[in-house]
């Protein structure tokens, strides 16, 4: 069995409100999951069920109120300096709103080049921008455009390109195609599948659309009442 890249163990998240009368809402409870090399874990459930919260916790963008997230066996909270940077680089997230994840005032070229700078690549390394555009199926002419001038599908590819520049091991895909047209959805899904086959990236795929999950996932789980429920093979058809 290929390696486990990212694990969540006993994750819980509760939100509290109020000072005098404290009300607590438990969104996630005792969630344990694994993302393996080259494999996709699909996560389904209706809006508001906590899937996005879980995704953000696993991606290190939010801290859980209980449990831990382990990257290469190490608890995120114990990571410092260089290790923290490595985690940040290798675990990336793709958001639901493609245009929203790009700075509306930066050209595509700038948005891509700055990620290269982050990796420390300068000078001739800039050619990599064109390479990565090719990988995601875009022409060089988008480089001088702004996100508002591109379609949702194109912007989502740019978002993917930005993540790919960092050579991630794990991609957390939060409803990556929900904001896209149906025909474009098909293109993005095929792209994601090809990338996974070539590069062995592990995916956590979140979607409220069972067929989208079915297309890519090796295993599927659902969040019900804050808890993770594994769903077996054929039962997937009856997901919601």
Q: How far is the CB of 160 from another protein (least distance, A)?
A: 12
Q: Is 80 exposed, middle or buried (0-12, 13-18, 19+ CB in 10 A)?
A: exposed
Binding another protein (rule: CB under 8 A), the pick from 24, 30, 77, 100 is 100
Contacts to another protein from residues 138-177, by CB under 8 A: 146, 148-154, 159, 162-163, 166
Q: For residue 48, what is the DSSP state?
A: T
Residue 46 engages another protein in binding (rule: CB under 8 A): yes
How near is the Cβ of 30 to another protein at its closest, in Å?
Answer: 25
**Minimum distance from CB of 171 to another protein (Å)?**
11
Residue 189's SS3 state is helix
- Least Å distance, CB 49 to another protein, is 10
Tell the residue number behind the tokens 């790009």, with chain if given.
Answer: 102
User: Closer CB to another protein, residue 65 or residue 178?
Assistant: 178
Q: Are strands 4-17 and 91-94 parallel, antiparallel or unpaired?
A: unpaired
Q: How many helices (H) and strands (E) does the chain have?
A: 7, 10
Smallest distance, another protein to C-beta of residue 224, A: 15
Distance CA 70, CA 90 (A): 13
- Give whichever of 211 and 218 is closer to another protein, judged by the CB atom: 211
Quote the crossing angle between the two packed helices 152-165 and 182-199, to the nearest 10°: 20
> Which two tokens mark 45?
């459930």
Buried b (16+ CB within 10 A) or exposed e, 133-154: bebbbbeeebbeebbeebebbb
Among 33, 93, 135, 173, binds another protein (CB under 8 A): 93
Shortest Cβ distance from residue 149 to another protein (Å)? Answer: 4
The answer to the question of residue 205 lying near another protein (CB under 8 A) is: no
Confirm or reject binding of residue 212 to another protein (CB under 8 A): yes
Q: Which residues bind to another protein, rule: CB under 8 A? A: 46-47, 59, 61, 85, 88-89, 92-93, 95, 97, 99-106, 114-115, 118, 146, 148-154, 159, 162-163, 166, 178-179, 181-187, 189-190, 208-209, 211-212, 215, 240
């Amino acid at each position: 069995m290929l390696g486990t890249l990212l694990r969540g163990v006993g994750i819980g998240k509760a939100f509290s409100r109020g000072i005098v009368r404290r009300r607590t809402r438990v969104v996630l409870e005792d969630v344990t999951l694994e993302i393996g090399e080259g494999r996709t874990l699909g996560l389904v459930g209706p809006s508001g069920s906590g899937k996005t919260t879980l995704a953000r916790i696993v991606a290190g963008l939010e801290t859980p109120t209980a449990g831990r997230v382990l990257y290469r066996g190490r608890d995120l909270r114990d990571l410092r300096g260089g290790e923290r940077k490595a985690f940040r680089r290798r675990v990336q997230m793709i958001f639901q709103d493609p245009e929203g994840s790009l700075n509306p005032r930066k050209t595509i070229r700038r948005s891509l080049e700055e990620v290269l700078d982050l990796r420390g690549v300068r000078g001739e390394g800039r050619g990599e921008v064109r390479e990565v555009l090719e990988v995601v199926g875009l022409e060089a002419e988008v480089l001088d455009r702004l996100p508002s001038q591109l379609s949702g599908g194109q912007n989502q590819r740019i978002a993917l390109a930005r993540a790919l520049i960092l050579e991630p091991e794990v991609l957390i895909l939060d409803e990556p195609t929900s904001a896209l047209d149906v025909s474009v959805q098909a293109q993005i899904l095929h792209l994601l599948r090809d990338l996974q086959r070539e590069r062995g990236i592990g995916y956590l795929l979140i979607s409220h659309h069972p067929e989208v999950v079915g297309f890519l996932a090796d295993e599927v789980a659902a969040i019900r009442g804050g808890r993770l429920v594994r769903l077996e093979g054929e039962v997937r058809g009856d997901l919601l």
